[in-house]
Structure 1
Amino acid sequence: MRIGLLTDGGYPYATGESRLWCDRLVRGLAQHEFDLFALSRTAEQEARGWVRLPAQVGQVRTAPLWTADEESLGLHAPRGPFSRLLTGGGARTYARRERRRFATHLTSLAASVCTAGGEPGGADTARPAGTGDGAGPRAADEQFTQGLYGLAELAWEHGGLPAALRSETAVRILEAACRAPGTGRTVQTATVADLLAFTAELDRVLRPLSLDWYEEDGLAAVDLCHAASGGAAALPGLLAKRFFGVPLLVTEYSVRVRAHYLSSGGAPVSAPVRALLANFHGRLATEVYRQAALITPGNTHARRWQERCGADPAKVRTVYPGMESARFAALGEREDDGGPDTLVWVGRIEPAKDLIALLHAFAEVRRAEPDARLRIIGAPAPGPAGATYLAHCRAVAAELFPDEAAGTHAGGENPVSFEDIGDDGVPGLAQAYAAGGVVVLSSVVEGFPISLVEAMFCGRATVSTDVGAVVEVIGGTGLVVPPRNPRALADACLALLRDPERRARLGAAARARALELFTVEQNLAAFRGIYLELIAQAPVRSAPRPEPGEGPRPFATPPEAHVLGLRPEPEPEPHPGDRTPSWAGAAPGPGASDA
């Protein structure tokens, strides 16, 4: 089977959130051939290069989403006779007919995006712009799909879509859609600067419509498209299904719409731009879920988001992420309780992890158990914001424990230590979880809690906040408390610190659960069956017809097409001397002469 694996900011690049699980998938399903179609997010990611690819990877096609330079994007060459190149630049512009098509399709898309209440799960309290009375969410969704696929076909036939989306015409169309009756109150206040910011983001997200991946040796040749996320990564899968009938499988371990809502982004974004982007990503998610043959979220929490965006529950199947358990096996199989008076937190230091609440909770623990210690093991999130948050956490720790200043190592009398993997005493990840008797997760925002699963593989008892998929992952093998509640967090930690037998029972149960549900082997078995299921259900696609003037293609027709009973046999081609001229009327009777 030939799989087209679609990624956005991940595999095969050396960095990215989908890198690890995609690499495990490709290597674990070596009986299949994989073609990679990857979008990169930053110039730095491009510079870091790719991971080493296995032999079952066929071709790799990449495209950057971080640049507006058309010459470096590998865009599809225009196929129509009307497009032309501007002198001195690579931007393509349209003739009159193509300009009208572009305006029509962008108007449809803009009207659906500007619809009031267009967020996923929201009620459309006003009718969509440009629709008749009584039109509801379905009409707006239809407008979106008409505009999206219309722009895709225009890009396929004539190219030039990125330049058109950055044009004054595009801004005027969006401005008219924002001002139309029935649009949301927020988007009606959009300024020209807001519209320019939105068109820039629209150009970036829709860049896959213009790529040269939709060729006979590209996505047209694969048996199945597997998108490693929603959003931009799934767009090539939508077009492959529309143009060639290729079935689409969408896997989301981090729901793109949810990530968009929670992301603060780099630069501040105005309220109208946020509303437009939320509506656009919501409409796109709805279309992706509607066209997908199957959707595989990584947990029930993600599944609820997908169903809120319109995913058919019958097409949604939870497949937990696969994680390597072997490196934690030695620790998990020992009856080692670690530091019986020590709490351990492991992860990336950032505001979403709410280490401030953890520090306040530990102050309560310390008052009840003076010998208790807290080890915070992890690096700050990349960028100045991560370093600032780490400095803030250190300052809070010093303020809460003024007589025992927080240090940077595990020794001494310091009740709180900030460490990183590779420091003295923490040579590896397994040793980080072995450093304490109880592992704590204090997040206020969490998707699939990877650090929690790692602690379970290590056989550690855990105390976690009730966010994301935590309850689903724990399943009764740990203590769960409300987020942003230091008192409840402290009480749960104290309960486990004071009861070693309970810690041992919960740790053993947690390890058994993790080995049953969250291993790489479980993940590979699930996708092995899903691939076969989808291919068995997919209709047979006929071979593409040769171009005019091109001879027959060898092996274009599969051998089974000639098996009797499967397809009607074609009429034999008559000998040239046996043909009856069209002007001769009916065929001659039995006694007629051939002369």
Structure 2
Amino acid sequence: MRICLIAEGCYPYVAGGVSTWVQQLIQGMPEHTFVICTIGAEQSQRGRFKYELPKNVERVEENFLDEYLDAKVRKPKRLSLEPSEKRAVLDLITTSHPDWDTLFDLFSSTGRCRANEFLASEDFLDVVMEAGEGAFRMAPFNQVFWTVRSMLLPVLNLLRCPVPDVDVFHAVSTGYAGLLGALFQRQTGRPLIITEHGIYGREREEEILRAKWVDVYFKKTWIDFFLGMAAAGYDHASVIVSLFHHARDLQIEYGARPDRCRVIPNGIRLARFEGIGALPLERGGLTLGAVIRAVPIKDLKTMINAFALVRARRPDATLYLIGPTDEDPEYYQECLELMANLGLEGIEFTGRVDVAQWYGRLDLVLLSSISEGQPLSVLEAMASRRAVLTTDVGSCRELIEGAGDGFGPAGEVVPVMSPGPMAEAIVRLGSDRPLLRQMGESGHARVSALYREEDLLATYRGLYGEVSETWRA
């Protein structure tokens, strides 16, 4: 079977949980051939892969959202949009439920409109003027025009992507990736699967509400725009996968049909961590660690501030921040400056390492993210028989506390962006090594029973066969 994996902002350019999951899926199914369709932010990423591509990857088709910005365009003749086409474009910029099929037919590689020419046309100006007289009547027209144009430029150009000749399309998020999957499904009739590691629409909503680059007046416009893209993926997908039950509830809340939604949790290769024994009770000091990328969503500043509070009470504590630091150099530098301003000792960035070699050295594993799906680092820590202290995001509470599975707590959960409660929990747990050991054993039992790589691969292997057979029938 030939499968097209559509990835936005992750594989193979960025190391992290979602990219690791993609690599795991491809390597675990050598009987299938994969085409990777990527969507990146900047052309400077072209060809700069962080992963060695498995042999069953046929090719990578790279798309970048900034490659359309400098395209030279001649001013087109009047396009004379049909009323339904004009309404679809207007709804795209003013609502969260545009008629995507009309937009696909209009702007795809076989459609009669080229994005850049449309955005220079009188037809586009007509649409913006109508929006300016209605939904945007309180904003300056110049600001409306350039905001709308910046929204539409990448997305309409993306719709001209050629369709890969495959049996199944599989987007690993909604957003731009899910939209491209919906386009491909519309053009071929072949099945689309969407797997959401985090709920894209909700994440963009939270991001935009905090963003300083979005004018207050246009925050709802941008939120509706991203929710509209998520809706396109949901509407065209045969199966919509989430990693845990609360995420499935959110998908349904955002418009996914319940009968298409399934829960398939992550799985890890337990053999990789088999050599790590139970937590030693006699070891001195308190060794903490976090397997992370140095990016804002991981909120390392909360962890650093919490560790400063811990060191005041436990001078023997150390903290290792394990993972790449090159994805967001500015944020990494801010973290270093925070450590310097606090005069903080006993903390170290390790850079990129084999994380399996580190879990056994740790007494307690930390995660301070402000948003997560089902973090592989938590599953790996549990497989390594180590207790985990996480923020209350994604499926972390379900992983730590279980869902009535009888295994017992594998650590504790604290509020997001709360250095004080995190520090309190670290000091309390760190003073009770038998409890840490018990939590580590509970976590190992849970992950061994419920989160195995072989189960993940078997489920997706069956899912690919199921949707392909349904389409062929």
TM-score range (shorter-chain normalised) is: 0.7 to 0.9
Deviates more, 1:231-240 or 1:188-197: 188-197
Which amino acid is the alignment partner of residue 316 of structure 1?
A: C
Contact 1:6 1:237 in 2 (8 A): yes
TM-score w.r.t. structure 2 length? Answer: 0.85
Deviation digits for residues 315-367 of structure 1, max 9, x if unmatched?
Answer: 11122234444443322x35535955314131234554445544554565556
For 1:75, the equivalent position in structure 2 comes to: none
Deviation digits for residues 500-550 of structure 1, max 9, x if unmatched?
Answer: 22211110111222233334323211101111221232254xxxxxxxxxx
Q: Secondary structure at the match of 1:467?
A: coil
Deviation digits for residues 569-590 of structure 1, max 9, x if unmatched?
Answer: xxxxxxxxxxxxxxxxxxxxxx
Q: CA offset at residue 8 of structure 1?
A: 2.5
The alignment status of 1:173 with 2:133, answered yes or no, reads: no
The alignment status of 1:515 with 2:448, answered yes or no, reads: yes
| Residues 209/290 of structure 1: CA separation in 2 closer, same or farther (3 Å cut) | same
| Residues 483/166 of structure 1: CA separation in 2 closer, same or farther (3 Å cut) | same
* Residue pairs, 1:439-454, within 5 angstroms: 439-454=365-380
| Residues 9/61 of structure 1: CA separation in 2 closer, same or farther (3 Å cut) | same
For 1:461, the equivalent position in structure 2 comes to: 387
Contact 1:344 1:375 in 2 (8 A): yes
For 1:559, the equivalent position in structure 2 comes to: none
- Tell me the C-alpha RMSD between the 2 structures: 3.2
The alignment status of 1:100 with 2:100, answered yes or no, reads: no
The alignment status of 1:537 with 2:463, answered yes or no, reads: no
- Return the alpha-carbon distance in structure 2 between the equivalents of residues 458 and 387 of structure 1: 31
| Residues 492/15 of structure 1: CA separation in 2 closer, same or farther (3 Å cut) | closer
For 1:34, the equivalent position in structure 2 comes to: 34
* Residue pairs, 1:111-510, within 5 angstroms: 111=91, 113-115=93-95, 118=96, 141=97, 143-145=98-100, 147-152=102-107, 155-167=109-121, 169-180=123-134, 183=135, 188-189=138-139, 191-213=141-163, 218-219=164-165, 222-263=166-207, 268-331=213-276, 333-336=277-280, 339-346=283-290, 347-359=292-304, 361-362=306-307, 365=310, 370-378=314-322, 380=325, 382-396=328-342, 398=343, 406-407=344-345, 416-421=346-351, 428-474=354-400, 475=402, 476-510=409-443
| Residues 358/146 of structure 1: CA separation in 2 closer, same or farther (3 Å cut) | closer
| Residues 512/530 of structure 1: CA separation in 2 closer, same or farther (3 Å cut) | same
Q: CA offset at residue 485 of structure 1?
A: 4.0
Identical aligned pairs, as a percentage? 27
Q: CA offset at residue 42 of structure 1?
A: 1.7
The alignment status of 1:62 with 2:62, answered yes or no, reads: yes
Q: Secondary structure at the match of 2:222?
A: helix
Contact 2:175 2:200 in 1 (8 A): yes
Which amino acid is the alignment partner of residue 365 of structure 2?
A: V
| Residues 500/40 of structure 1: CA separation in 2 closer, same or farther (3 Å cut) | closer
- Return the alpha-carbon distance in structure 2 between the equivalents of residues 434 and 166 of structure 1: 59
Q: Which protein is bigger by CA-based radius of gyration?
A: 1
| Residues 303/33 of structure 1: CA separation in 2 closer, same or farther (3 Å cut) | same
- Return the alpha-carbon distance in structure 2 between the equivalents of residues 11 and 487 of structure 1: 35
Deviation digits for residues 229-248 of structure 1, max 9, x if unmatched?
Answer: 21222233223332321111
Structure 1: give runs of 5+ residues left out of the alignment.
72-88, 119-140, 399-405, 408-415, 541-595
- Return the alpha-carbon distance in structure 2 between the equivalents of residues 95 and 103 of structure 1: 18
- Return the alpha-carbon distance in structure 2 between the equivalents of residues 433 and 271 of structure 1: 44
| Residues 377/33 of structure 1: CA separation in 2 closer, same or farther (3 Å cut) | closer
Contact 1:107 1:147 in 2 (8 A): no
Equivalent pairs counted in the alignment come to 462
Q: CA offset at residue 270 of structure 1?
A: 1.6
Higher relative contact order (CA 8 A, sep 6+): 2
TM-score w.r.t. structure 1 length? Answer: 0.69
Which amino acid is the alignment partner of residue 391 of structure 2?
A: T
| Residues 328/249 of structure 1: CA separation in 2 closer, same or farther (3 Å cut) | same
Contact 2:193 2:239 in 1 (8 A): yes
Q: CA offset at residue 49 of structure 1?
A: 4.8
For 2:5, the equivalent position in structure 1 comes to: 5
